[in-house]
Structure 1
Amino acid sequence: MAKTAFLGLGVMGYPMAGHLQAAGHQVTVFNRTATKAREWADQHGGGHAATPREAASGAEFVMACVGNDDDLRSVCLGEDGAFQGMAKGAVFVDHTTVSAAVTRELAQAAKAAGIGYVDAPISGGQAGAENGQLSVMCGGEQADFDRAAPVIDAYAKICRRLGDVGAGQMTKMCNQIAIAGLVQALSESLAFAQKAGLDVEKVVEVISQGAAGSWQMVNRHKTMDAGEFEHGFAIDWMRKDLGICLDAADEVGASLPVTALVDQFYKEVQGMGGGRWDTSALIARLTRQPG
């Protein structure tokens, strides 16, 4: 069992840190809103700290799951940053979806301080975090990954190393690119079924058993048909991720025409007031009037 720190107690980080504590690890948490950290400690029995540096002090592993590039820099760097509290040989594991550029920047800073660095973005949504069933895609030195993987297993369904630092973030981009196209196609299919006067439930029962079937279809068709969009990853965050994907595509010379188009569709849903709706709300632009 390891002494760990967890930085960031959002809808993903809060249950992930809880799984670490439940698995027997010694966990100290940090959150910008201190009351959330105290609430977590009261619920799970771990410790809480006033700064990332204090939380990371003496920890063998420091996990982070925050919002974006700037949030990640703020918990890593500076006098109160986690890197200042971590001892040589400790490993920093970043579960945030961020740009490959900030990953390389922080990995270099960690290396200079004698700290291991694993970029380990996650997929599976809030339900996956709560149930300890996340897919974790990792990049980093093999030795750092080998040490961190048994700790990550507390909340993972699958945890794999894809390559050196940055490979985890690039793999998460593949994940978001695939989801964007899938959800748009599913939205069009369900909206078409509604317009054609078909029973959506019966349609899905049949087509989900064939080549059209997907996790999104099985798990989201009912709420999409009902116009309920409070069940997953918010559009505001998806657009952040798709922006990262499109920037990376320019960097590596990849073409993402469908992703770019779906990003604009998500922008339309934001304009309808749906920024906090989950990603399945793409169907709303086909079935609702703006306003």
Structure 2
Amino acid sequence: MYPGGPRASETGDKTLSIGFIGLGDQGAPLATAIAEAGFPLHVWARRPASLDAVAGVAHTAHDSVAGLAAAVDVLALCVSEDEDVLDLLTDGLAAALRPGTVVVNHGTGVPSAAARMAALCAAHDVGFLDAPVSGGHAGAVSRTLTTMVGGPAALAERCTPVFEAFSAHVHHLGDVGSGQLAKLFNNTLMMMNQANLEEVLAVAASLEVDLASLVAVLKNGSAGSFTLSALGEAITAENVEHLSKVELLDMDLFAAAMAERGAPADAVTARAVAGAEGLVELMKTLTK
């Protein structure tokens, strides 16, 4: 990823003040990594208890969104849905940011919403990047995420040292929305791979093959994949129902994005949805 020289995070401007909103399962380890990389971290949360997630690192907590916005050079958002981001921006956040600030949306959404966010920011001379991440909570904690960036190249370059604080790979894909499009394709292919795995293991189960041993072989063989590696690690009996629901929500986003662009993706969508829907039963089979 970084042939011929150091990572940008090793040489980047550590005087950039980074704001963070969204200290949940994914956002908290991102914010922690940013602070530990040496960037001044500023945070705000609707619930004061959420700030406990960054208690172990240096940070400045703000009582209001406006106070946070006025103090930062880059504002990272890691909230659940596009509408949440749009509500924040229109409810005074964009207006409170200093001209030249960059807003980064790390949540997963549709490209058209990213374009709306960029326009809201541009009205206040604020830059915008969509930068969803792949790797889940485990990748955030281990700082091995893949970050997919859409937006102006100069802004992406400016923020790359921040992204590298929690990423193993940072890819600039092109204009605003291209990061979200890449994330949706990434998620869709992962779920299609789940469907393949579910079908293969169903056949193996009908032959009374020891599934645990087979999965161990497949993980180490040429059939190995992220989906296989995640079984029993990122995907467990305890969290599989939640993950399945999140995947189905992601497929709603994918279907909407494809419909907006008139892409012939019905068969791909159906296959991925089948993979998401079958995940719970797969884990039940493997943990019998």
Q: CA deviation at 1:49?
A: 2.1
Aligned equivalent of 1:47, options 49, 56, 60: 60
1:74 paired residue number: 87
Matched-pair contact (CA < 8 Å) for 2:42–2:59: yes
Q: Distance in 2 between matches of 1:287 and 1:218?
A: 14
Alignment of 1:145-160 (within 5 A): 145-160=156-171
Aligned equivalent of 2:175, options 164, 168, 191: 164
Amino acid at match of 2:192: G
Q: CA deviation at 1:30?
A: 1.9
2:245 paired residue number: 236
1:281 paired residue number: 280
Q: Distance in 2 between matches of 1:33 and 1:212?
A: 45
The SS at the match of 1:184 is: helix
The SS at the match of 1:44 is: coil
Q: CA deviation at 1:76?
A: 2.0
The SS at the match of 2:50 is: helix
Q: Distance in 2 between matches of 1:168 and 1:232?
A: 27
Matched, 1:125 2:136: yes
Q: CA deviation at 1:136?
A: 0.3
Amino acid at match of 1:237: V
Deviations, residues 163-194 of structure 1 (Å, cap 9, x unaligned): 00000000001101101101121122233333
Q: CA deviation at 1:77?
A: 2.0
2:38 paired residue number: 24
Sort the Cα spacing of 1:282 and 1:88 in 2 relative to 1 into closer, same or farther, 3 A: farther
Matched, 1:257 2:257: no
Matched, 1:60 2:73: yes
Q: What do you get for the CA RMSD once the two structures are aligned?
A: 2.5
Deviation >3 Å, runs of 4+: 205-211, 221-224, 284-288
Amino acid at match of 1:28: H
Sort the Cα spacing of 1:194 and 1:52 in 2 relative to 1 into closer, same or farther, 3 A: farther
Matched, 1:4 2:18: yes
Q: CA deviation at 1:203?
A: 1.8
Sort the Cα spacing of 1:32 and 1:189 in 2 relative to 1 into closer, same or farther, 3 A: farther
Q: CA deviation at 1:287?
A: 8.2
The SS at the match of 1:78 is: helix
Q: Distance in 2 between matches of 1:256 and 1:286?
A: 29
Sort the Cα spacing of 1:44 and 1:231 in 2 relative to 1 into closer, same or farther, 3 A: farther
Alignment of 1:59-208 (within 5 A): 59-79=72-92, 81=93, 83-208=94-219
For structure 1, which runs of at least 5 residues remain unmatched after alignment? 270-279
Q: CA deviation at 1:41?
A: 4.3
TM-score scaled to structure 2, two decimals?
A: 0.85
Deviations, residues 224-258 of structure 1 (Å, cap 9, x unaligned): 7xx72427972232222110101111222232314
Amino acid at match of 1:283: L
The SS at the match of 2:169 is: strand
Moved more, 55-64 or 138-147: 55-64
Sort the Cα spacing of 1:132 and 1:187 in 2 relative to 1 into closer, same or farther, 3 A: same
Q: CA deviation at 1:73?
A: 1.3
Q: CA deviation at 1:285?
A: 8.1
1:273 paired residue number: none
Aligned equivalent of 2:226, options 194, 215, 233: 215
Q: CA deviation at 1:218?
A: 2.4
Amino acid at match of 1:32: R
Aligned equivalent of 2:48, options 34, 42, 46: 34
Count of residue pairs the alignment pairs up: 272
Q: Distance in 2 between matches of 1:282 and 1:52?
A: 43
Q: CA deviation at 1:259?
A: 2.4
Matched-pair contact (CA < 8 Å) for 1:7–1:30: yes
The SS at the match of 1:62 is: strand
Q: CA deviation at 1:142?
A: 0.6
Q: Distance in 2 between matches of 1:192 and 1:223?
A: 24
